[in-house]
Amino acid sequence: MGCPRGTGHNSPFRGVRELPGFTCGRVPAKVRQMFQVGHERSPRPPARPDAATPSAPETGRTGPRGGTGGAGRRDAFFDNAKFLAIALVVVGHAWRPVIDDSRAVLAAYNFVYAFHMPAFIIVSGYFSRSFDTRPSRVRRLVTGVLVPYLLFETAYSLFRKAADSPEHPISLLDPWYLTWFLIALFVWRLTTPVWKALRRPLPIALGIALLASVSPDIGNDLDLQRVLQLLPFFVLGLCLRPEHFERVRRRGVRLLSVPVAAAALVLAYWSGPRMNFEWFYHNSSGQELGVPWWIGVAMNLAMFACSLVLTACFFAWVPRRHTWFTALGAGTLYAYLLHGFLVQASRIFGWYDAFPWIATPAGVVALTIGAVALAAVLCGSPVRRAFRFAMEPRMDWLFGRDAAEDARRRSAVPAAPADSAGTAEPSGRADSR
């Protein structure tokens, strides 16, 4: 006699009639449900990610909503933020020679300098959250930050020696012009494990910055004054989570940011002739800027608060979607390091003096558009391919093999390949920067 319906050879109830207390075809509903659930095929566990692959906070793959978006996918929000920040850096350097001729340009200059580097440093700190002393991370820090610093500090020094200052020394301990950011990022990332181990790292970092602002004897070695005064922004980035960026994207925050930014512009216009704009450089103590030490402390606290507010306004309006400049966010280090040669050449060879119309309103608009275009070109793929040997050098010969890393790679199960719609450009070695 064959099995009744529901107890055939392929059924989960096959053999149930042989159990005591059960009659063939009269299986209780609860037991039937129990067997049915147990018979369903359980889903496969997700593929284990490669342990050697840098985690999302370091590669820039985690977005404001916390999703990773698949292997190799970059987050549009942060790439947009990085490009806009580096564009403001280039624009600010282009404006510098004309701020004495226009109070409006001076106000815009001070306004931009209040937040463009803090925003850049906060993003750098956010992407450094996963940094530790594993050999793979140290290798990336050396090849992506330290080696470019050594190369470009030497290149800028040679450029200045050849152009207008034959006596200018080549000193790797005294960063010249914009190379300070690389050595600062190197120091900040090296200290990341320390900040991650502290319960309240931000107040401690702010206290160190305030102490630096009243210490004129720090000197110029490694531009330590600027490294310490800007340290709180990096530590703040380490403390942030995706939900924090999501909060500043709320509609209410975006609407509030408009009058706040407008008020800041008005304040910048009023304070322009009354304030030393070198406060925004964070490379001098209060005493070196000609004020008592307690005014230096008050100024640095006020500027820290102002920078935080304006940086939040900046992030509130950074597009989350893909735009024409999203892909350029992966090359911000190239634009940062390369545009300085043109800026210094314009100063040394008197380009602004040769074209006095640049100081006119129309000239300033043209200068601003040209600076943004320059930033876009220097972030583009052709420039990145040409200078990758200096920015992202492959120096496997310099490092020994890491047995633990190799073992993790061998034991990792490769993830399923993504379809063509889910692939994106891989992250660069140094997100900064």
The distance from CA 257 to its chain's CA centroid, rounded to whole angstroms, is 22
For 248-297, the pLDDT digits (tens) are 999 999 999 999 999 999 999 999 999 998 999 999 999 999 999 999 99
User: What residues in the chain have per-residue pLDDT under 50?
Assistant: 1-25, 31, 34-63, 65-71, 416-433
CA distance 281 to 216: 15
- Quote the pLDDT of residue 45: 43
- Quote the pLDDT of residue 26: 54
Joined tokens for residue 357: 């119309």
Contact (CB, 8 A) for 182 and 433: yes
> 374: closest CA among 318, 328, 406?
328
| Cβ neighbours of 75 (radius 10 Å) | 26
> 117: closest CA among 341, 263, 287, 280?
280
Q: Tokens 């149930």 — which residue? A: 16
- Compute the 3-state secondary structure of the chain and give helix, strand, coil in percent, each to the nearest 5: 65, 0, 35
Q: List C-alpha distances in Å: 419 to 89, 159, 290, 346.
A: 37, 47, 61, 48
> 222: closest CA among 168, 186, 169?
186
> 231: closest CA among 214, 252, 207?
207
> 115: closest CA among 343, 272, 305?
305
Over pLDDT 70: what percentage of the chain? 76
CA distance 314 to 152: 29
